[in-house]
Amino acid sequence: MKRWHIFSILLLILIIYFAIWFVTPTRALSLLVVDKTVPEPSYREHQAIFWLTKQWRMTNESGDFRKYEYDYLGYHPETGQRELLTEEALEGIELLYLADTYGIYNYEDGLTNYELRLPYELIDIDLIYGGLNTEEASVIKDYSTKKDHVLIGEHNIFGYPTYNFPGSSPIIQEVFGVNYSGWLVRYYEELEDVAYWVKLTYERIYGVELDLTGPGLVLVREGSRASGWFEDIVIFQDKDFNQQYPMIATEKEHPLTKGAAKRVPYLYWVEVLEADNAADVLAYYEFPLTDEASEKLKIREIDTKIPALVYKQVPNEAARIYFAGDFADQLPAFLPPWMTESGRIQRLFTYIPGVPPQYKFYFQWFSPVLKNITDLVLP
């Protein structure tokens, strides 16, 4: 067989392979994503959700694929529009995803410059819009009572700026069956890069400057009365670690975690929660700490394993799933969503040494879990 024949056959196979995605039937998913943290047109707090729904060929009720630039409720940077969650907005919605409500602030020099300066100076910023007010909390509570619906929440919907609305956070915590302690956790690959407010908090509490380098784990307890006020802080260095990274560990066999990796690294913000008796913890966040270092957690009444995925199901009401971290805030995918089996291919990539651990979490864990959740609405 001539070479050009072989090449033509391979090209035809490749074209057919790519074409499969375009001819695969679509499924309509009545989804609403709430994202009040879109300070600039990157849409990073919810873009990963829409990448996955497009890969799975899930559309809106009109048969169109959702565009992360428009198809969400929250703040729209190009127009300045600020939206609140209402009963009207939820009409016909079967899956509500509360992705982020940390809010919009007055970054005078832009968000990029603010983040570049963050490790070196304290920059005053004022909240413009964010949090969940008491009316929105009531709407969420009402939605959670609807049969055959699904409610997803994740960090940050409990703490500041929802704290600005007294009574709102307790309502939402009760809906998800959790109790938020105020403690936040984040892994840093380099402690020199922590925000300046972390350094000032450390100096205020311990009376010495924060002069640490290398990988580290930072725990801060946010105050409930004011932005930027932290009541306690503890920092661990790599000498305190018994493994390289914190991990999300899935210990229970459950339909929502089917296909998810048992252990994956997770390096971004996590909330320290307790689940109530009506909720089921399906996955835990594990601190990468030695027994000696863990004693610092125990004196602060923090367990060495804290809930990462909490599932609450009340008979004849909505299924409620809470992610105790910034799970939807992920790096952009390697490949486009319209490529056949793009998600599975990228999951294989994550087993290659040197691939950023964030991709391991996204494709080995978050993607299959979210797919299982959508199957509650689309069996």
Residue 225 has pLDDT above 70, yes or no: no
Q: What is the CA radius of gyration of the chain?
A: 22
The secondary structure of 165-226 as a DSSP string is STTHHHHHHHHHTEEEEEEEEEEES-GGGS-HHHHHHHHHHHSS-----SSEEEEEEE-SSS
Per-residue confidence (pLDDT) for residue 20, from 0 to 100:
84
Q: Stretch 39-65: mean pLDDT, rounded?
A: 92
Residue 305 has pLDDT above 80, yes or no: yes
Give the separation between CA 9 and CA 4, rounded to whole angstroms.
9
Whether residue 222 is predicted with pLDDT greater than 80 in this model: the reply is: yes
Over residues 351-364, the pLDDT tens digits come to: 999 899 999 999 99
pLDDT band at 119 (very low <50, low <70, confident <90, very high): confident
Alpha carbons 184 and 155: distance in angstroms, whole number: 10
* Torsion of Cα atoms, 39 then 40 then 46 then 50, to 10°: 160
Average of pLDDT values for 290-294? 93
Question: What is the architecture of the domain spanning 27-377?
Answer: 3-Layer(aba) Sandwich (3.40)
The predicted pLDDT at position 14 comes to: 64
Domains in the chain: boundaries: 27-377
- Phi/psi of residue 164, each to 5°? -65, -15
